[in-house]
Chains A and B, each alone.
Chain A
């Protein structure tokens, strides 16, 4: 299709400008239809269906039968657009739906996730992305396999990648299923398969090229969907147009309200519905004990090292036109991610204020329970089991320890709590869908590409022709997607538990082999194999023992932080074994020299 060739790249700002304008017009149209009496359910369906059809169209227009277009989008994605695509790739259903809720319940301690998921990009920029771009690989195991040599190293890298990404992708398919089922009014199990269908339409025909251009489109939808309700709400409350800068007063006010309502001071009551929580943690107070501080920094470290080892993120920087553009692109990625991440704590603060402040019309804590039960949003969300009220002391007044909810509500229900029109709720559903789909796309592609390029082409059948390779890649994409959807439909773990594990798996097996591959010439094949094998083994063993084996965590390193154990073992094993065996041959050393300077041909040729 002519639209995706040559001048398409020059016209990117125009194309996506028009797209954004079109989306805004669609939102306004929905708002008008809502005024005209269109039902809330129909609006929700239209939002999700309209955006998914657009992504699928982009996916279809980007179809390709060329290897470098399929694997690395032809290496022509400009830094800024790759930044947007990475931001969508990165911000998952968990970031979109669960993060603000996590901060609502977890306060300062939970914000460790926010710090970790942004600061990791400093490691990506300074240690990894530009060098991997110069290398010219198609996948992350492609780098490991070529730098260290040998099929075993490549195979182990494929194993770590698959384990980490698959853990992550089930959570994303789960999120698409949840959102699709709610917006389209279908059962969750059907929603999961519907979500998968959308994801495959975006990625199957055009590989990385299609995923790139749909992710840019998805970023635009998700950031509008996240920012509009927050800005609207803060405007209503008199916090102005850039609420992120001025919510300090709201934070301080929460401190007073927590004392007033006795947050954390009242006795804990069991929630009438499993999985719902009452607010017990102060909003801004930071831990004073060694344990609390240590838990904060170890969580930050795991999320950062995991960020820098997750293949679906690293492979986005293989698509830029140059090494310089790869570096700039990391900066733009973090900028676009930052727009959402510095809004999440503001959203959590505003929502909490709405619920807690008796001076606001929306405040419910301290009000009569009959009055609270009559509210629309309370009825709607308690009907679906997201919220519960239990008057345990029988005084007819809602206390802080008698109000239970699910964290996801903070994003999903805030428009209703603040009394915004339903069109905003539809927009939020479309945003959540975009966030979960774009991450699932990137992850599925990372797994399928590693299996098709590294396992099938490089190890099993090096003589396979282009057509064969690309057909295998697509078949794998469908198979892995189906496995992911099947696992997701069994609802094994909560969304966020699984997401944190993906980071820990990735850092256990890949962090040091990747970093030392560039920064330590002496690192050799035996060392890398030992590093990946023992790192992954130790991490997995520790996770098993702490989570299911009844072992007490060492030094507060719990199941969310098992990457610390894995990565430490990986580092020691890699250094010891490298030094105990012969240094890499001269050719490998020259390869490392080449990777370290941007000038010249990439190490691997453009179609390998």
Chain B
């Protein structure tokens, strides 16, 4: 078992869970919530597109890509902060 004490593990997991929940809230908004109102959003023009159509065809997708890159950075920062990030060299050999 890796040499990390219990309180560090708990603090790390609490933050990891927090990040997961934040990520999934943003995911929920752009996966479901805005598309529920697509018909109303279509009355708004965005870059020349009807907004409801734009969000489904492009907007949500852009947000998902950015969201995952952001998530990967944040999670790595959390790992480093609690000293549970991988040892770069051992990770390479694995």
Within 8 A of A (CB), among B29-53: 30-32, 35-36, 38-39, 41-42, 45-50, 52-53
The answer to whether B86 touches A599 (Cβ under 8 A) is: yes
Known: A119-B60, A322-B91. A331 touches B42 (CB 8 A): no
Give the shortest distance, in Å, between B46 (CB) and chain A (any CB): 8
Known: A75-B94, A599-B87. A327 touches B72 (CB 8 A): yes
B75, closest chain A residue (CB): A327
Known: A248-B48, A322-B86, A335-B65. A345 touches B79 (CB 8 A): no
How far is B49's CA from A252's CA once the two chains are assembled, in angstroms? 7
Give the A-B pair count, Cβ closer than 8 A.
188
The answer to whether A118 touches B61 (Cβ under 8 A) is: yes
* Interface size in chain B (residues, C-beta < 8 A): 55
Binding site for B on A (CB under 8 A): 75, 108, 111-112, 114-116, 118-119, 121-123, 125-127, 130, 244-249, 251-252, 255, 283-288, 293, 296-297, 300-301, 304, 321-325, 327-328, 330-331, 334-335, 338, 341-342, 345-346, 590, 593-594, 596-602, 606
The answer to whether A114 touches B1 (Cβ under 8 A) is: no
Give the shortest distance, in Å, between B27 (CB) and chain A (any CB): 4
The answer to whether B67 touches A244 (Cβ under 8 A) is: no
Pick from A121, A300, A324: contact of B32, CB below 8 A.
Answer: A300
Pick from A114, A122, A130, A323: contact of B27, CB below 8 A.
Answer: A122
How far is B60's CA from A119's CA once the two chains are assembled, in angstroms? 8
How far is B45's CA from A162's CA once the two chains are assembled, in angstroms? 46
Pick from A130, A286, A331: contact of B39, CB below 8 A.
Answer: A286
How far is B56's CA from A346's CA once the two chains are assembled, in angstroms? 12
Give the shortest distance, in Å, between A71 (CB) and chain B (any CB): 14
How far is B93's CA from A75's CA once the two chains are assembled, in angstroms? 9
Give the shortest distance, in Å, between A72 (CB) and chain B (any CB): 10
Pick from A115, A247, A599: contact of B84, CB below 8 A.
Answer: A599
How far is B38's CA from A122's CA once the two chains are assembled, in angstroms? 22
How far is B71's CA from A130's CA once the two chains are assembled, in angstroms? 12
Pick from B50, B54, B67, B85: contact of A598, CB below 8 A.
Answer: B85
A290, closest chain B residue (CB): B36
B68, closest chain A residue (CB): A331
- Which chain A residues border B94 with CB–CB below 8 Å? 75, 321-322, 602, 606
The answer to whether A126 touches B24 (Cβ under 8 A) is: yes
0/1 string, B4-38, CB within 8 A of A gives 1:
10000100110010011001100100111001101
How far is B6's CA from A590's CA once the two chains are assembled, in angstroms? 11
Q: Which 6 A-B pairs have the closest CB atoms?
A: A248-B48, A600-B2, A286-B38, A322-B91, A248-B49, A284-B53
The answer to whether B76 touches A331 (Cβ under 8 A) is: no
Known: A119-B60, A293-B36, A297-B32. A108 touches B53 (CB 8 A): yes
Pick from B2, B36, B38, B62: contact of A597, CB below 8 A.
Answer: B2
The answer to whether B36 touches A593 (Cβ under 8 A) is: no
The answer to whether A594 touches B1 (Cβ under 8 A) is: yes
Write 12 A-B pairs (CB below 8 A) sorted by A numbering: A123-B24, A125-B72, A126-B71, A286-B52, A297-B31, A327-B75, A330-B68, A335-B69, A338-B62, A594-B1, A596-B9, A597-B12
Give the shortest distance, in Å, between B69 (CB) and chain A (any CB): 4
- Which chain B residues border A75 with CB–CB below 8 Å? 94
- Which chain A residues border B2 with CB–CB below 8 Å? 594, 597, 599-601
Pick from B46, B64, B84: contact of A334, CB below 8 A.
Answer: B64
The residue among A112, A342, A597, A602 with the most chain B CB atoms within 10 A of its own CB is: A597
The answer to whether B86 touches A122 (Cβ under 8 A) is: no
How far is B78's CA from A130's CA once the two chains are assembled, in angstroms? 14
Task: Knowing that A323-B86, A334-B65, A599-B84 touch, tell me 5 more A-B residue pairs with CB under 8 angstroms.
Answer: A114-B56, A125-B68, A255-B50, A284-B52, A286-B53
How far is B42's CA from A296's CA once the two chains are assembled, in angstroms? 16
Pick from A116, A118, A324, A327: contact of B91, CB below 8 A.
Answer: A324
- Which chain A residues border B45 with CB–CB below 8 Å? 248
Give the shortest distance, in Å, between A196 (CB) and chain B (any CB): 33
The answer to whether A596 touches B16 (Cβ under 8 A) is: yes
Pick from B24, B32, B39: contact of A285, CB below 8 A.
Answer: B39
- Which chain A residues border B47 with CB–CB below 8 Å? 245-246, 248
The answer to whether B24 touches A111 (Cβ under 8 A) is: no
The residue among A111, A114, A288, A304 with the most chain B CB atoms within 10 A of its own CB is: A111
- Which chain A residues border B71 with CB–CB below 8 Å? 122, 125-126, 327, 331
Pick from A335, A597, A601: contact of B79, CB below 8 A.
Answer: A597
A292, closest chain B residue (CB): B39
The answer to whether A249 touches B48 (Cβ under 8 A) is: yes
Known: A248-B49, A597-B84. A284 touches B42 (CB 8 A): yes
The answer to whether B86 touches A115 (Cβ under 8 A) is: no
How far is B58's CA from A602's CA once the two chains are assembled, in angstroms? 38
The answer to whether A115 touches B68 (Cβ under 8 A) is: no
Known: A122-B67, A327-B72. A114 touches B57 (CB 8 A): yes
The answer to whether B85 touches A599 (Cβ under 8 A) is: yes
The answer to whether A596 touches B13 (Cβ under 8 A) is: yes
Pick from B13, B20, B64: contact of A121, CB below 8 A.
Answer: B64
How far is B16's CA from A598's CA once the two chains are assembled, in angstroms? 12
The answer to whether B64 touches A597 (Cβ under 8 A) is: no
The answer to whether A115 touches B61 (Cβ under 8 A) is: yes
How far is B58's CA from A321's CA once the two chains are assembled, in angstroms? 32
How far is B85's CA from A599's CA once the two chains are assembled, in angstroms? 5
How far is B2's CA from A327's CA once the two chains are assembled, in angstroms? 21
How far is B13's CA from A596's CA once the two chains are assembled, in angstroms? 7
Known: A108-B53, A248-B47, A249-B48. A599 touches B4 (CB 8 A): yes
Known: A108-B53, A598-B86. A590 touches B65 (CB 8 A): no
How far is B86's CA from A587's CA once the two chains are assembled, in angstroms? 22
